[in-house]
Amino acid sequence: MAELVEKSLNFIEEIIEHDLEIGKHKTIITRFPPEPNGYLHIGHAKSICLNFGLALKYGGKTNLRFDDTNPTKEDIEYVDSIREDVKWLIEEMPMEWSEERYASDYFQTIYDLTVKLIQKGLAYVDHSTAEQMAVSKGTPTQAGTNSPYRDRSVEENLALFEQMKSGSLPDGTCVLRAKIDMASPNMHMRDPVIYRIKHAHHHQTGDDWCIYPMYDYAHPISDAIENITHSICTLEFEVHRPLYDWTIKNLELFPSRQIEFARLNLTYTIMSKRKLLQLVTEGVVNGWDDPRMPTISGLRRRGYTPAALREFANRIGIAKRDNIIDVGLLEFCVREDLNKKAQRVMAVLNPLKVVLTNYTEGVTETVEIENNPEDPNGGKRLVPFGREIWIEREDFMENPPKGYHRLTPDGYFRLKGAYIIKHVETIKNTEGGIEELRCEYIPTSKSGQDQSGIKVKGVGHWVNVATAATAECRIYDRLFTVEAPDGDKEKSFMDYLNPNSLTVLDTIYVEPSVKDLAVNDRVQFLRHGYFAVDKDSTDTKLVFNRTVTLKDSWKPA
């Protein structure tokens, strides 16, 4: 079934192949057009994989274009983060963007084209107030009424538009509107505003402009200037398409074609930049790249690989209707990828000390353990072993239930890659809590050369006390407690925050091989899951983020 899906074309590929077949285009050019008003999220990752993936498949090109028509909401910090995130995601595809463009590169061209539009009698300056415009716009079931300024002469409109540009008019004095049809059943065609006055500093054009084109108008022009053949966007723009086509037709531009697909929605996740910004500004998370965020930078910091995100995008495919994807599928994809790639390491998160009373004091030996059973070329590493060992508290029980196969009073237990140990004594503190275990190791039971004849069911990971690396460990849970945090009209997504989305373990013990890891490196902690080195790590203390557990909650349908 999976193969069948891969082989059949999705509807966008069908359109592209048809266009190439009939010779409408010799090659294709797509673009990824983020507005730099926030960090990219996993939904954008889907769009990036789609646009770059199509260009790769058909030997075409993709531009990275910043749709920066709204200077008050945008920032250079966002431009930089977007560039970095796209680069990271496509690095191994192998793919690069053909050009880095900005809608603001075209402000002069858009202005000149707009003068042409006015000369054609297809745009007018409107001095109505915002309220008057809202009223005259009508409703979806009731036609709008023409503005009293609609029939201004071309000369008057040209002069007024020039005046708008000159900077002498305050914000909101008037707007430029396309002259289309106030009775159109499509509200977006009822003389939409195409330019507004905004005395705002722009991160690319500085103070050159005080009028800015509206997104719906600048977008088709930018696409056409770049000869974009297939302009792919999300479904909510379907109703904007007539305006897209109107703009291209009336300005006599390259015939870029807009194609819509369903935006990605994920369970337990919000996906709008505006809402993600609120999480950041209200301090719910520690910045845009907090590992709980569904941003590309958050996922990267959490330990996600570009390959896992691309595989995820690939698996969900392209839909024409809105749907919601189980976040478990995303976790499944990263688990699959890291299972192949991540070196195995032993780490004790909830430590209990074991003293091997018959092991010589002050001696450290090394045992050999394989790095990755999934990777035949993964090799082995030497792990130090000695008289004092950390094991997980969960690996010892005084009064074990039936079927418990780990260490119990007087019982045996194998330390992975090392020896079988036998429990001798439990040391308790004054409150009755277990402080430490005394055990004996069985010298003839060394892994790979076991001659002890003792059968044990339980095997556990461990860390040698004398050589352990200490680290901080951050365990993440879902940021929201419900599947659809913004699906409720009465309540805000802020009402569904999970108070336990972050648990910090101050001190965990890890085998010393991790001392060589660098920020963003990923490992598997045996039996615990996959972990990535956080940028908060210092020379003296490593910080690990749990990417995902080993257990799979998602099952392929």
Interacting residues with ligand ATP (CB under 6 A)? 33-35, 43-44, 46-47, 233-234, 263-264, 271-273
Minimum CB distance to ligand ATP, residue 84 (Å): 15
In this structure, is the dihedral angle defined by the CA atoms of residues 159, 165, 168 and 173, taken in order, positive or negative?
positive
Q: Which does 200 bind (CB under 5 to 8 A by kind): Mg ion, ligand ATP, none?
A: none
**Is residue 459 helix, strand or coil?**
strand
Active site (annotated) includes residue 35:
yes
Site string (259-288) toward Mg ion, x via CB under 5 A: ------------------------------
CB-hemisphere CA count at 13 Å for 72? Answer: 9
Tell me how crowded residue 552 is: count the other CB atoms within 10 A of its CB: 13
Judged by beta carbon, residue 11 or residue 360, the one nearer ligand ATP is: 11
Q: Which does 291 bind (CB under 5 to 8 A by kind): ligand ATP, Mg ion, none?
A: none
- Output the CA–CA distances (angstroms, integers) from residue 524 to 222, 350, 351, 382, 473, in the order listed: 46, 16, 18, 17, 13
467: which 2 tokens? Answer: 């050589």
Question: Cβ-closest residue to ligand ATP?
Answer: 43
Number of chain positions touching Mg ion (CB under 5 A): 1
Judged by beta carbon, residue 35 or residue 156, the one nearer ligand ATP is: 35
Instruction: Say if residues 268 and 42 touch (Cβ distance below 8 Å).
Output: no
Q: Which of 65, 257, 273, 478 is catalytic?
A: 273
In sequence order, the 6+-apart residues with CB closer than 8 A to the CB of 528 are 347, 349, 546, 549, 550
417: which 2 tokens? Answer: 């890659």
Q: Which does 264 bind (CB under 5 to 8 A by kind): Mg ion, ligand ATP, none?
A: ligand ATP
38: which 2 tokens? Answer: 């926030």
Helices (H) and strands (E) in the chain, counts: 13, 25
Minimum CB distance to ligand ATP, residue 296 (Å): 12
Minimum CB distance to ligand ATP, residue 229 (Å): 15
Minimum CB distance to ligand ATP, residue 534 (Å): 26
Minimum CB distance to Mg ion, residue 276 (Å): 12
Judged by beta carbon, residue 126 or residue 290, the one nearer ligand ATP is: 290
37: which 2 tokens? Answer: 């008003």
Judged by beta carbon, residue 233 or residue 421, the one nearer Mg ion is: 233
Q: Write out the binding residues for Mg ion, residues 153-192 only, by CB under 5 A.
A: none
- Output the CA–CA distances (angstroms, integers) from residue 536 to 80, 266, 279, 532, in the order listed: 21, 28, 21, 11
Judged by beta carbon, residue 43 or residue 303, the one nearer ligand ATP is: 43
Judged by beta carbon, residue 73 or residue 405, the one nearer ligand ATP is: 73
Q: Which residue has the tokens 């688990």?
A: 335
Q: Which does 189 bind (CB under 5 to 8 A by kind): ligand ATP, Mg ion, none?
A: none
326: which 2 tokens? Answer: 């189980």
Minimum CB distance to Mg ion, residue 48 (Å): 15
Judged by beta carbon, residue 38 or residue 303, the one nearer Mg ion is: 38
Judged by beta carbon, residue 93 or residue 271, the one nearer Mg ion is: 271
Q: Which of 263, 275, 315, 381 is catalytic?
A: 263
Q: Which of 13, 35, 365, 374 is catalytic?
A: 35
Q: Which does 46 bind (CB under 5 to 8 A by kind): Mg ion, ligand ATP, none?
A: ligand ATP
Minimum CB distance to ligand ATP, residue 177 (Å): 23
322: which 2 tokens? Answer: 């809105």
Q: Which does 294 bind (CB under 5 to 8 A by kind): Mg ion, ligand ATP, none?
A: none
Tell me how crowded residue 13 is: count the other CB atoms within 10 A of its CB: 15
Q: How far apart are CA 147 and CA 138, in angstroms?
A: 12
Closest to 198 measured CA to CA, from 135, 80, 107, 97: 107
Active site (annotated) includes residue 26:
no
> What percent of the residues of the chain are helix, what percent strand, and what percent coil, each to the nearest 5?
30, 25, 45
> How do beta strands 380-385 and 365-370 pair?
antiparallel
Closest to 53 measured CA to CA, from 89, 25, 77: 89
Q: Write out the binding residues for Mg ion, residues 12-51 only, by CB under 5 A.
A: 35
Q: Give me the residues paired with residue 422 across strands.
A: 412, 440
Active site (annotated) includes residue 527:
no
Minimum CB distance to Mg ion, residue 76 (Å): 18
> How do beta strands 175-178 and 123-126 pair?
antiparallel
Exposed / middle / buried, residue 424 (Cβ in 10 Å: 0-12, 13-18, 19+): middle
Q: How far apart are CA 220 and CA 236, in angstroms?
A: 16
Q: Which does 251 bind (CB under 5 to 8 A by kind): Mg ion, ligand ATP, none?
A: none
Minimum CB distance to ligand ATP, residue 482 (Å): 19
Judged by beta carbon, residue 35 or residue 245, the one nearer ligand ATP is: 35
Q: Binding residues for Mg ion, per CB under 5 A?
A: 35
Catalytic residues: 35, 263, 273
